[in-house]
Amino acid sequence: MQLNRYFMVLAEGLQDCSGTAQGAIFRQSLHINFRYLLLISFLGLFPFGFPLIAGLVGLRGFSLGFTVAFLVRRNSLRGVLFAAGAVLPHNLILIPAVILGSVTAFSLSWFRLRCALERRPRPLREQLGPYLLILLLAAVLMGAAILVEAYISPLFVKWLIPAIQ
């Protein structure tokens, strides 16, 4: 019940989404998503980082799934519309970016563990160039998703608010 009231207050508040609110959304999303990418990237450098990477990806997927399921279960068609306007647009870009960064970090971590177990050490700098290049691509995709979340999704939500209420 508490989450349902929060949803209704949020939907009402999004009607008056101004440039200041969009800037706040942008900064918050930038902080959250790039901190996540940095953590994944850091864990990929270590041989035993892969289980933590898998756990973080699972947690991220669970929270997204819970959000959409809650919206749909509590608000049926209104929840589907809200999820389509507020959750879907940026996640169409963000999910591939997260997968790209996570798989890259997981692969490097797994490779380093395999090399350590087989006692054939390989210098990290050999893999670091391609690793950082792919993570840079993931960061660019993530930046595009953040722009969509901050500046395009609120427009969709504003457009859908009359149908939701």
**How many Cα atoms are found within 13 Å in the side-chain-facing hemisphere of 34?**
13
d(CA 105, CA 107): 5
Choose from 119-123, 148-152, 156-160 the range with maximum mean pLDDT: 148-152
Confidence of residue 2 (pLDDT cuts 50, 70, 90): low
Q: Is residue 101 within 8 Å of residue 40, measured between CB atoms?
A: yes
pLDDT averaged over the chain?
Answer: 88
Compute the CA torsion angle 108, 130, 57, 51 (nearest 10 deg): 10
pLDDT in tens, 134-156: 999 999 999 999 999 999 998 88
Global pTM reads 0.85
Domain boundaries of the chain, sorted by first residue: 2-164
Does the pLDDT at position 6 exceed 90? Answer: no
- Kindly give the residue spans of alpha helices, DSSP state H, lying in 45-150: 50-82, 88-117, 124-147
